[in-house]
Structure 1
Amino acid sequence: MTDLKNKIIRLQEHLNHGLVGRKNEVKAALLTLLAGENLLLVGPPGTAKSLLARRVAGCLQSTDKHDASPVYFEYLLTKFSTPEEVFGPLSISELKKDNFKRNTTGYLPTVQIAFLDEIFKASSSILNALLTILNERQYHNGATLSAVPLQALIAASNELPTGQEELNALYDRFLIRKFVDYVRPDDIASLFELNSDYGNVESISMDEIKELTKRSDDVIVASQIVRVVQDIWLKHREIFSEDRRESLSDRRLVKLIKLLRISAASNGRYEVDLSDVVLLKDSLWNHPENKEAVFDLIFEVLQKNSCTVEVMPNDISTKDSQKKIEKPQNIERDITAESRLIKGYKGSGTKNNPILISNYEELLDLERKDVGQQGYYFKQTTDIDCTEINTWPNINFIGTYDGGGHTIKYKKGKNKITTVDGGIASLIGSQMLYGYGTSKYEASKIEYLFESVQGNSNLLNINLEDLCLCQDLYDSTVSDCVSVLNNISDDKHNMQISYLIKDIKKSKVTNCQTSSALAYKVSDSIINQCTSTSSILAHTVTDSTIQLSVAELSIALYLKKAILKQCQSFSVLVGKSAIESHIENCLVLLKTTEDIFLRYSSQYDLPDQLFGIESNEIQHRNYNTDEYLNVGLVVSHLESSNILNTFVTAHDLKRGVVMNYSMMWSGIASGCFDSKVEGCVLGSCRLKKPSNYGIYVGRKSRIAGYTEKSTFKSNISVSTQTGARSSTGENGETMDKLRLTQNYFENTLHWDFESVWYWDNDRNSPVLQMQTGNLIIDARSTEKLLTEDLLTRQISQNIWL
């Protein structure tokens, strides 16, 4: 795919030779060709529309070198044009046989690229046949329905068909629409420097296009991208609900999904990203006066789903100003600091003049609906000590709260409650208390700054001490927040079950750190670049993406229709099951600790009923056929899911990992059903029992234990892990650790060492390229990392933007 990407870049440069100010139009025309779609160029005469079409046709190489059929057809339509001029003359010989049939050779039905100028002047007799060709790539030649080899049709017009409803169907067939105007005044001087020598034409073959189309079918459209497109679609309908000129057909959505996949595949990616969605800006408007509004709504949704990422200084992408797409900014009226919106507060509630929070009275007064639920912008100006507050209010918040990097401090939990005789003894707020047998368990109540946050709200730059952030986060964003709970005990009988955010829905959480679990449940959301000294998710991840995140324990307990990318744990990556999920480029560094598997043991595991989840909500297969706990070091139960390019090894390579529970372990998954495990490596990972303990620790397999209808490919186990080699099976290929070099990972297993992994020379093993909290030390940390907006970065790397 890299070779094809480089060829496309060369094609773009070649097609631009001798043209001024037409880079975007060239990219649109070439993308149209690769996607097998139709492009409409709108603009005045003399703006190189036909020249562009001829150049694109010139770069297409016919599949059959012996085929003398023309590749290209062009025609200028007028209101007097007849079907014979476009589709070919009637066959006299066929008429003599009473057959109505045209000789189409050399005309539109037989070429691969066509250019029709003044397309909207087509007569009804041409229009009817043209609609079928544009949409279905078929032509009715008399009584015969023939397939049309047309790969792309480029049309031009001096104006759009406004007020001509009979042309709406034709207009809708053009997936991509571009305005072409005369060159800008700043570029006029470039017209004097044009070189008429076009040179040898770089070409692309139909075989290459077909291979690209085949690869695009395997491109993943993650739940985040699905949600982004859904939000754009819904906002479009909402904004233009009273403008009957604007509508989006189901046909257009289906074609745009294909376009997104083609864009990703031609960029050498196997997943659609945010930058591909930017292409919708040329496809979701009908009337030109709505073009800017469409642009704004697309970028509003994209920026909401973007985040900040860390990159090396020499890898910063925003230096290329030509790749930067400016979003029109609304200039907000500056209001003087003397203005007052709410009595007793300073500020008017805008970003330029926020309402200031400087003490606990102003903070806790957010409980008032007229203060905390009106969408105002708040800014904390100093640290706030709330340790004298005995009862915390229920604050339901709508708006933006910027903590300014200051701290809100609350009291340590004092109300400890003890339970005996097993089961649930008490339920205090979000704190669940449980015990088994005659053991005693204690829990401290931790309060939340906000009871709920919703309505497209934003929480940022908030530092919390002995306080959690919010119980319920809905349709909102959280970034750069920290919560430190000083009353978490290391004693497993003194339980502290708490979360930075308990329940996250349809939201985005970025660059947050917590000494508790980040959240309990997450659905339809994005977790990016977060750190927890416990787990990222204490329970279930559903229809969500977690990326660039690190946990001292596990990333999550359950995955359901979820994506994990570039995540690291120091315990099992996913505690129990992954169903219909995708795990890629993750790292498991198992630490030597006694209770690392505490919450996976049947003795201490929390029943699902404690959390309001029925046992059949997430189904499991019972494959624990012996008395031991079966554990997979990436995930215990894998069903209808993928694990790709994931590395498992011990954190302490010399000592290994000491276990205190009887168990059988597998390097990647204990049970693997209808799933794929590919490019994974089990490194030096010795799990052993401590001395003088009457427990059993054994290995079921090197890659997967119990398997059913699953695919294994290019999985590796170091030779210190005994077992029969099986490159396509549950034990993987055996490899001496001296052969597991960066060259092997990069060139044989095809791991990405440009943007995902780097080689740690001290450990002699791959490590993820990220620095989150204090849990990962980057071997290149002497070179300070810079931050960059993810959307901006992806746009800069997209060859179509």
Structure 2
Amino acid sequence: MQRRWAAPLAVLEHGLLQRDVAARALLLAALAGEHLLLIGPPGTAKSELARRLQRLLPGTRYFERLLTRFSVPEELFGPLSLKALEADRYERLTEGYLPDAEVAFLDEVFKANSAILNTLLGLLHERLFDNGSQRIAAPLITLVGATNEPPQDDSLLAFHDRFLLRVPVQPVDDAHFDALLDADTAAAPPASLSLDQLHAVRQAATGVALGDDVRALLRLAREHAARTGQPVSDRRWRQLVALLRVQAASREAPTVSAWDLWLLPFVLAHEPAQVPGWTELFLHRVAEAGPLPMDGLERAVLAFEQQLDIERRAPADAQDDSAGKLALAKAIAGPEAGQSELVRITSERAHRRYSPVHIEARTRQCEELLAQLGELTALVQATADQVLGAAAAHDWLPPSWRAQIESVHHERLQRLHGLRTALQTHRDGFAALPVDATLPPAQPAPVAWTVA
């Protein structure tokens, strides 16, 4: 992460567990001048993130309210001016209220009545506030909304669409519970951003190109939205591209990267239940972390294991009296038969012996599959190196996502290593079968295996 964004992110995340996605989305929203909706139960640091953003922008005016169905416009937009009323003007005193704020947080944002929501629509989208006969410009940088769940009422969909970024947040999971109990409560390290920095990034974003690879991925995203019945407005597609350009500009990159598309789930998903589908699209297409078919390989290695077991257990030919000799040796050795050298030697002779041609054929077939496994492992390793290098180099990819991607590629390589180790063991097992050079040099039927 470049120095200028690492420190602000450290402030946003300090002492908060599993909030790397929300923190990055919030900072990018501020850089792009967009609004963010945090969706999750109480006590998941939604308001704390908004307050920390304001502290990152020293001198900015902050406004915060909890909305209910009984909230009135005066609570958000300011009281009526008595002096203006005396002059037959309907105006509000907006100083210290939402129209005057640069960073704002509205909790339970969808519980407000229509009078408030209708005013918020224009304020969020156009940054304009109608105060009596005047239309004044609002200095709002970003508004953070919070809700326990997305709206179900169709009348709220237009307001819901004003939030370009919509990020689900959940309580800390069981794996991080102990860390939660020991969370650092000390003050966050100092860091700050200036409005000039925000404006500089937005200005630089106008010169960022959208490459053919990203366009192809966006077309794929559009197909996914249509296939899954998730309507995305033209305005949202354009806003998404603008956000991607801001993210690229903040990395001082001349073009949008495919890795910048990690934001897709939080821009295009209409509700939290749809986020995993969009996340999977990114992980499969960009991080190459989709399922790697290995069933055929596993069946092939298992086929060699089973064949080796058959050939090891195969009794000697009927005309060979080794089996009778083994029984006699065990009778002579008595209860300690398992430890008798006589029993061991006789036991080896009681099993079928194979011609050198047979053994060479079995080991050669194992080696052919081992070669294929080696080629596949090299390809998977090269892919992992390329993907993990790109993921580590991306300034904004959340660490939790990076860890998930690393886990997938590591697990693939581990599975392939396990298959190669097992097959090498089977190959050595065939090579160690009892040999009888006097047997006819007949080729055995090949072990049936295919790798799709």
Bin for the TM-score computed over the shorter chain: 0.5 to 0.7
CA gap of 1:337–1:53, structure 2 versus 1, over 3 A, is: closer
Residue of structure 1 aligned with 2:171, choices 179, 182, 188:
182
Aligned to 2:253: 269
Higher helix share: 2
1:797 corresponds to which letter in structure 2?
Answer: A
Aligned to 1:53: 50
CA gap of 1:300–1:92, structure 2 versus 1, over 3 A, is: same
1:297 aligns with 2:278: no
Residue of structure 2 aligned with 1:191, choices 180, 199, 212:
180
Q: State the SS of the aligned residue for 1:204.
A: coil
**In 2, distance between residues paired with 1:787 and 1:44?**
39
CA gap of 1:89–1:330, structure 2 versus 1, over 3 A, is: farther
1:108 corresponds to which letter in structure 2?
Answer: L
1:28 corresponds to which letter in structure 2?
Answer: A
1:102 corresponds to which letter in structure 2?
Answer: R
CA gap of 1:216–1:790, structure 2 versus 1, over 3 A, is: farther
Q: How does 1:134-533 map to 2 (within 5 A)?
A: 134-162=124-152, 164-199=153-188, 201-240=190-229, 246-302=230-286, 327=289, 329=291
Using the TM superposition, give the Cα deviation of residue 61 of structure 1 relative to its aligned residue in structure 2, in angstroms.
3.0
**In 2, distance between residues paired with 1:201 and 1:790?**
35
Q: Deviations over 1:732-762 (max 9, x none)?
A: xxxxxxxxxxxxxxxxxxxxxxxxxxxxxxx
Q: Deviations over 1:229-253 (max 9, x none)?
A: 122112321232xxxxx21011111
Residue of structure 1 aligned with 2:38, choices 36, 41, 46:
41
Using the TM superposition, give the Cα deviation of residue 793 of structure 1 relative to its aligned residue in structure 2, in angstroms.
3.0
Equivalent pair of 2:42/2:148 in contact (CA under 8 Å) = yes
RMSD: 3.1
1:281 corresponds to which letter in structure 2?
Answer: P
Q: Deviations over 1:127-156 (max 9, x none)?
A: 001011111111111221111111111010
Aligned to 1:11: 8
**In 2, distance between residues paired with 1:199 and 1:788?**
35
**In 2, distance between residues paired with 1:234 and 1:9?**
35
Q: Deviations over 1:594-624 (max 9, x none)?
A: xxxxxxxxxxxxxxxxxxxxxxxxxxxxxxx
Equivalent pair of 1:86/1:107 in contact (CA under 8 Å) = yes
**In 2, distance between residues paired with 1:337 and 1:13?**
48
State the percentage of identical aligned residues: 35
1:84 aligns with 2:68: no
Q: State the SS of the aligned residue for 2:151.
A: coil
Which TM-score applies when normalising by structure 2? 0.66
**In 2, distance between residues paired with 1:78 and 1:331?**
52
**In 1, distance between residues paired with 2:184 and 2:39?**
26
Q: Deviations over 1:317-371 (max 9, x none)?
A: xxxxxxxxxx564988769969xxxxxxxxxxxxxxxxxxxxxxxxxxxxxxxxx
1:75 corresponds to which letter in structure 2?
Answer: R
Q: State the SS of the aligned residue for 1:174.
A: coil
**In 1, distance between residues paired with 2:186 and 2:240?**
36
Q: Deviations over 1:375-412 (max 9, x none)?
A: xxxxxx9xxxxxxxxxxxxxxxxxxxxx969xxxxxxx
1:29 aligns with 2:19: no
Using the TM superposition, give the Cα deviation of residue 795 of structure 1 relative to its aligned residue in structure 2, in angstroms.
2.6
Aligned to 2:408: none
Equivalent pair of 1:38/1:152 in contact (CA under 8 Å) = yes
**In 2, distance between residues paired with 1:178 and 1:140?**
30
Aligned to 1:75: 65
Using the TM superposition, give the Cα deviation of residue 206 of structure 1 relative to its aligned residue in structure 2, in angstroms.
0.3
Higher strand share: 1
Q: How does 1:558-569 map to 2 (within 5 A)?
A: none
Equivalent pair of 1:90/1:103 in contact (CA under 8 Å) = yes
Using the TM superposition, give the Cα deviation of residue 22 of structure 1 relative to its aligned residue in structure 2, in angstroms.
1.7
Which TM-score applies when normalising by structure 1? 0.38
Q: Deviations over 1:29-82 (max 9, x none)?
A: 1111111111111111111111111011110134xxxxxxx6110000000101
Q: State the SS of the aligned residue for 1:221.
A: coil
Structure 1 segments unaligned to the other structure (5+ residues):
63-69, 241-245, 307-326, 339-380, 382-402, 406-459, 462-479, 481-784
Q: State the SS of the aligned residue for 1:248.
A: coil
1:91 corresponds to which letter in structure 2?
Answer: S
Using the TM superposition, give the Cα deviation of residue 787 of structure 1 relative to its aligned residue in structure 2, in angstroms.
6.1
Using the TM superposition, give the Cα deviation of residue 186 of structure 1 relative to its aligned residue in structure 2, in angstroms.
2.3
Q: Deviations over 1:92-142 (max 9, x none)?
A: 111111111111111111111000000110110000010111111111112
CA gap of 1:60–1:254, structure 2 versus 1, over 3 A, is: same
**In 2, distance between residues paired with 1:43 and 1:787?**
36
Aligned to 1:97: 87
Q: How does 1:624-643 map to 2 (within 5 A)?
A: none
**In 2, distance between residues paired with 1:194 and 1:8?**
23
Q: How does 1:114-153 map to 2 (within 5 A)?
A: 114-153=104-143
Q: State the SS of the aligned residue for 2:136.
A: strand
Equivalent pair of 2:283/2:290 in contact (CA under 8 Å) = no
**In 2, distance between residues paired with 1:187 and 1:336?**
35
Aligned length: 328
CA gap of 1:15–1:290, structure 2 versus 1, over 3 A, is: closer
**In 1, distance between residues paired with 2:65 and 2:21?**
24
**In 2, distance between residues paired with 1:266 and 1:795?**
16
CA gap of 1:332–1:798, structure 2 versus 1, over 3 A, is: same
1:795 aligns with 2:388: no
**In 2, distance between residues paired with 1:332 and 1:130?**
53
**In 1, distance between residues paired with 2:142 and 2:171?**
25
**In 2, distance between residues paired with 1:330 and 1:181?**
30
